[in-house]
Amino acid sequence: MGNEALIQLFRDHPGEYVSGAKMSEALNVSRTAIWKAIKKLEGAGYEFEASTKLGYRLLFEPDPWSADLIQAALATRTFGRTLTIEGEVTSTQDLARTAAEQGAPEGYLVIAERQQSGRGRMGRSWVSPYGKGIWMSMVLRPEVPIHCAPQLTLLAAVALCRSLRRVTGLPIGIKWPNDLLVGGRKISGILLESAAEDERLKYIVAGIGISVNLAEADYPEEMLEKAVSLRVAGGRVLNRTEMIADFLMEWEQLYGLFIKEGFRPIATLWESMAVSLGRKVKLTTPQGELTGVPESLDDSGAIRVRRDDGSLVTIFSAEMGEPLASR
Ligand code: BTN
């Protein structure tokens, strides 16, 4: 039995339960074969509601995409102009890095339906179930010194925030350096990994994770307080192809601005979308913990934090906690 026939049966009964007997009769296979096919579809991102009495009801199916569909939607010059879509991968970062080492051009993009070991910042893992998100990595080859790499992370966050606000209409904000939040919960993350040679960047692999159509059940219980998908936050399913096309356009334009005019215009945009300025937080740095009020970005992309004693410190790398209650 092809799964397509089973999916079609559900599509023919939108919003309705289809009984096991009906499915097995229509497709001429056993009830066990139907059950196995449903499990397989669930692994591919489909969601069903099961009822012992009534059978199954289709709740969600992943939006189909392909390299051709995405290419056709793109209006960029280089970003995503060469791209590959994979099914399951370890991490798109691994594939893009291999491609970069082999000479892939700037803008080369790897997208996957699922990551078995998606990576986040600070050695964390990244939840990347099949068919529900945008898990992608792009090769950048900017001709800038290595110390500019953090600025490119902030640039990606600005581009993503602008694009996601436009596409979803949700009040998305940036938490330093590059987490995108809705109502305090994370909807997207950015991970830049770079390779350098003689103080210059050889290439950057920019990893973007957008939790688009995940259901609450896709997250481990302990993450639900801190993470949310755009589908859950906004109450509607989004089209991933349109989102990629919009974001790549925004990203390419801001990248062009950065190459021409440097980091200042990007920093100003970042500050206007930041949710982490002006509120007291705890910062965990490689050197230890401190509390203070983040005030602004400096020209390198580091954050300036006002301590209780009035002094200003510049933080280059840290984990920023939730705002502390002011007393
Ligand atoms: C973070 O906020 O911790 C960064 C998350 C980055 C996740 C993306 S998903 C695509 C790419 N592949 C990975 O393994 N990670 C990045």
Q: What is the pLDDT of residues 247-299, one digit of tens each?
A: 999 999 999 999 999 999 999 999 999 998 999 999 999 889 999 999 999 99
Span between the terminal Cα atoms of the chain, in Å: 65
* 278 CA distance to ligand 1 middle (Å): 27
- pLDDT tens profile 147-169: 899 999 999 999 999 999 999 99
- pLDDT tens profile 117-130: 999 998 899 999 99
**Own/partner pairs for 222-230, CB < 8 Å, 24+ apart?**
223/127, 225/185, 226/185, 226/186, 227/127, 227/185, 227/186, 227/187, 228/182, 228/183, 228/185, 228/186, 228/187, 229/132, 229/133, 229/187, 230/164, 230/168, 230/170, 230/182, 230/187
What is the reported pLDDT for 327? 44
Atom of ligand 1 at shortest range from CA of 112: 10
How distant is the alpha carbon of residue 118 from its chain centre?
A: 11
* 267 CA distance to ligand 1 middle (Å): 22
In this structure, which residue's CA is closest to atom 2 in ligand 1? 189
Cis peptide before 142 (omega within 30 of 0): no
Q: Identify which of 83, 89, 90, 93 to mutate to test ligand 1's pocket (most ligand atoms within 8 A of the CB).
A: 93
Atom of ligand 1 at shortest range from CA of 178: 2
Query: Mean pLDDT, to the nearest integer, of 305-311?
Result: 94
Residues of the chain with CATH 2.30.30.100: 281-320
Atom of ligand 1 at shortest range from CA of 122: 3
Closest CA to 175 of 194, 192, 162, 188: 188
What is the reported pLDDT for 300? 92
Cβ atoms of 215 and 60 closer than 8 Å? yes
Ligand 1 site, CB within 6 A:
91-93, 115, 118-121, 124, 126, 135-137, 179, 189-191, 207-209
Backbone angles phi, psi at 265, to 5 degrees: -60, -35
Does residue 176 carry a pLDDT above 50?
Answer: yes
* 118 CA distance to ligand 1 middle (Å): 6
pLDDT, averaged across the chain: 94
In this structure, which residue's CA is closest to atom 16 in ligand 1? 207
What is the reported pLDDT for 197? 86
Atom of ligand 1 at shortest range from CA of 117: 14
What is the reported pLDDT for 166? 98
What is the reported pLDDT for 29? 93
- pLDDT tens profile 201-244: 999 999 999 999 999 999 999 999 999 999 999 999 999 999 99
- Tokens read off for 106: 């700037």
Residues of the chain with CATH 3.30.930.10: 67-273
Atom of ligand 1 at shortest range from CA of 209: 9
Q: Which of 87-96, 138-147, 202-211, 316-325 has the lowest mean pLDDT?
A: 316-325
Q: What is the fold, at CATH topology level, of the domain defined by 3-60?
A: Arc Repressor Mutant, subunit A (1.10.10)
What is the reported pLDDT for 3? 86
Q: What is the fold, at CATH topology level, of the domain defined by 281-320?
A: SH3 type barrels. (2.30.30)
Distance CA 131, CA 322 (A): 31
Q: Please tell me the CATH code under which domain 67-273 is placed.
A: 3.30.930.10
* 324 CA distance to ligand 1 middle (Å): 27
Residues of the chain with CATH 1.10.10.10: 3-60
- pLDDT tens profile 40-84: 999 999 999 999 999 999 999 999 999 999 999 999 999 999 999
